[in-house]
Amino acid sequence: MVRMRRATTDDAPAIARVYVDTWRITYAGSLPDKVLLEMSPDIQAARWARAIERGREIVDVAEDETLDVGGSVIGVGSGGPNRQRGSSFAGEVYTLYVATDHQNQGIGKRLLRRLFEDLSAAGYNSAVIWVLADNPSRFFYEAMNGVRLGERTEEIWGTTLREIGYGWPDLSATMADWREKP
């Protein structure tokens, strides 16, 4: 059985494994190989542990209770205040990753819902997410009723990345809609 819950610092190493593995697979060809190869699960684990401990961002995990202890985190999502100042969207989904072997089984949808619930409870009743334009996961956000907001480019790691923004202007309404039509 897979359940969604708030992350604890003990989850940090497992979150880092999911994060590094999915980055390497998802962004191969989009981000420089060097960046992907040099990603360190240990550094990521420390970063996630710090984020969870500080509590400034919401971190949720999907946990498969049938898997061994330590290997049971199969998805991670995080969010918090919108990093773009002046936006009419209060919240932002910073990350959403489901381990490759567990994709297309409805887990991303459940994790996004949990993140929306937690964002809304924290006072952010609208949210955006920025996705790389050549990442097919953007169709996932369209399937999740995200409204296409526009595009932006970011200069990072010596590459220009094109991103597409999706928004949900009223998370309470989105969640009510999903409860009616699961």
Residue 52 near residue 9 (C-beta atoms within 8 A): yes
How is residue 32 annotated by DSSP?
-
Instruction: Provide the minimum distance between the beta carbon of 52 and ligand COA in the complex, in angstroms, as a whole number.
Output: 18
Instruction: Provide the minimum distance between the beta carbon of 69 and ligand COA in the complex, in angstroms, as a whole number.
Output: 23
Q: Which of residues 21-60 bind ligand COA (CB under 6 A)?
A: 22, 26
Distance CA 134, CA 8 (A): 32
Q: Which of residues 8-27 bind ligand COA (CB under 6 A)?
A: 22, 26
72 binds ligand COA per the rule CB under 6 A: no
Instruction: Provide the minimum distance between the beta carbon of 24 and ligand COA in the complex, in angstroms, as a whole number.
Output: 11
Q: Which of 19, 140, 166, 168 binds ligand COA (CB under 6 A)?
A: 140
Angle between helices 41-54 and 12-26 (to 10 degrees): 120
Distance CA 86, CA 163 (A): 19
Instruction: Provide the minimum distance between the beta carbon of 39 and ligand COA in the complex, in angstroms, as a whole number.
Output: 14
Residue of this chain nearest to ligand COA (CB atom): 108
Residue 60 near residue 7 (C-beta atoms within 8 A): yes
Amino acid at 17: R
Instruction: Provide the minimum distance between the beta carbon of 146 and ligand COA in the complex, in angstroms, as a whole number.
Output: 11
Q: Which of residues 97-116 bind ligand COA (CB under 6 A)?
A: 97-98, 103-109
29 CB contacts (<8 Å, ≥6 apart)?
A: none
Biggest CA pair distance of the chain: 46
Q: Which of 2, 16, 52, 96 binds ligand COA (CB under 6 A)?
A: 96
131 binds ligand COA per the rule CB under 6 A: yes
* Burial (Cβ within 10 Å: 0-12, 13-18, ≥19) of residue 30: middle
137 binds ligand COA per the rule CB under 6 A: yes
**For binding to ligand COA (CB under 6 A), which residues are involved?**
22, 26, 95-98, 103-109, 131, 135-137, 139-140, 143
